[in-house]
Amino acid sequence: MADRSLKPCPSSPNCVSTRAPADDATHRAEPIPVPGSPEGAMAAVLTALQTLPRCEVVERDERYVHAVVTSRWLRFKDDVELLIDDEQIHYRSASRVGRSDLGVNRRRMDALAADISRRLAG
């Protein structure tokens, strides 16, 4: 397994990450607790990603997933990364172009994190 990390968010507001500093309200999100095994967490992540429209997993290993989500109208691409450790799932979602995403990445990741948490709990 490669030693993975999530890219930092750029200064633009079109990115959300659990690795952003705690005082960075624009970019900061809370990681998802992993109550079981990392393998179970990966299964929950992959299943949840399958529910996202226009989402394609482009890279993965035992603890890391990189997916690309394409917007419906203008075909903009957003990169979604998830990294699982023994206790948490960290994530980052960012638009490849532009400055504002009108909150799309945060809403997507809030919904995806809630979906993953439900799958891990049940």
CATH number at residue 109: 3.30.310.80
> ∠54-87-61 over CA atoms, to 5°?
45
Q: What is the pLDDT of residue 97?
A: 87
Q: What is the pLDDT of residue 3?
A: 62
If one counts the domains in the chain, the total is 1
Q: What is the pLDDT of residue 19?
A: 97
Confidence class for position 60, pLDDT limits 50, 70, 90: very high
Domain that holds residue 81: 17-121
111 contacts: CB under 8 Å, gap ≥ 6? none
Confidence class for position 1, pLDDT limits 50, 70, 90: very low
The mean-pLDDT minimum among 43-52, 57-66, 75-84, 91-100 falls in: 91-100
Q: Tell me the whole-structure pTM to 2 decimals.
A: 0.93
